[in-house]
Amino acid sequence: MTALPEDATAAWSRRRSHRWDAWTLDALLEARRATGATVSLVVPARNEAATVGDVVTRVRERLVETVSLLDEVVVIDSDSVDDTAAVAADAGAVVHRASDIRPDLGWAPGKGEAMWKSLFVTRGDLLVFMDADLREWDTHFVPGLLGPLLTDPSVALVKGFYARPLDVEGGGPYDGGRVTELVARPLIALAFPELAGIVQPLAGEWAVRRELFGSLSVPTGYAVELAALVDTLRTRGLDAIAQVDLGRRSHRHQALADLGAMATQILAAAARRTAPVAGVDTVALRQFDQSDGGAHAAVRAVTVGERPPYSSLVGAGPSQADRP
């Protein structure tokens, strides 16, 4: 791909960047009635018992019981070993264990796998994804993400962005996105410059039309967000993507070694889309621990496989596990 002139990126940003309060709830409800669109909120979760209940409770109270913006709130439990599933169910979510969805297709650990599996157990024409570890957020995230999809049929994917501070002294408002700044943004500048106007390409809060997400190859790990952007750009064009400023978000920060694994998955997804690496599903990542004064190497097997488009599997396998 060739680099876009700076003014082209700015022009896209002016057309496709919004604030969450650009639409009232009444306007979105009217747009939903007019289009007949159904909406599913999907929360992929692994070992998030401490926060998933608050996410589900607040969304249900505000956007299901008070106003009918959502048709369902679905938590996909990615093999948690804590009480994530029970807490989410008690809060009113429909809960599915990822490994129990279409077991004939196997199971892989990872956020992308949970999101891909959600296609088999949700019914929404529009899918809104939210992380389960949110600490500082509000329910306006959901209508904010739905705004462009409900009001503009040319938009197929919406990314959220927000101030995301790093909870250390001197941390700036965007410093919480370390993999974004150190890996994703430089990678986009080099390989996918058309996406340079995306403020937070790895944001876990985003929304997409079912028919688009179902047509995409989905990395099983943390690269799902970047892959969806790149593949949407290539198949639908830049104007099929919009972004919405959601304000501020805080969540649990990952350990440095885990960020290394996330970065490996993101680079692998980019490699498949620039110089495809046939048959590579696991990368051996060598990391070093110096906590006791010495440098001790440990090799971590990072899964970088991808799932085929959901649309290629509809009708294949147990019918009761397909979309309701």
- What CATH number does residue 74 fall under? 3.90.550.10
Residue 108 to residue 78: CA distance in whole angstroms = 9
Element (H, E) at 113: helix 111-118
Question: What is the band of 278 on the pLDDT scale with cuts at 50, 70, 90?
Answer: low
Cβ atoms 4, 193 nearer than 8 A: yes
Tens-digit pLDDT profile for residues 10-40: 889 889 999 999 999 999 999 999 999 999 9
Question: What is the band of 169 on the pLDDT scale with cuts at 50, 70, 90?
Answer: very low
* 211 domain residue, yes or no: yes
Residue 97's beta-bridge partner residues?
Answer: 77
Given a cut of 60, is residue 290 above it in pLDDT?
Answer: no
- Tally the domains of the chain: 1
* 216 domain residue, yes or no: yes
* 1 domain residue, yes or no: no
* 103 domain residue, yes or no: yes
Q: Of 52, 41, 104, 39, which Cα lies nearest the Cα of 78?
A: 52
Question: For residues 176 and 28, which has the higher predicted lDDT (pLDDT)?
Answer: 28
* 274 domain residue, yes or no: yes
First to last CA, the chain: 39
* 259 domain residue, yes or no: yes
Share of the chain above pLDDT 70, in %: 85
Tens-digit pLDDT profile for residues 216-267: 999 999 999 999 999 999 999 999 999 999 987 765 566 777 888 888 889 8
What mean pLDDT do residues 125-136 have? 91
Cβ atoms 237, 195 nearer than 8 A: no
Tell me which residue range forms the domain holding 65. Answer: 6-321
Indicate the length of the chain as a whole number: 324
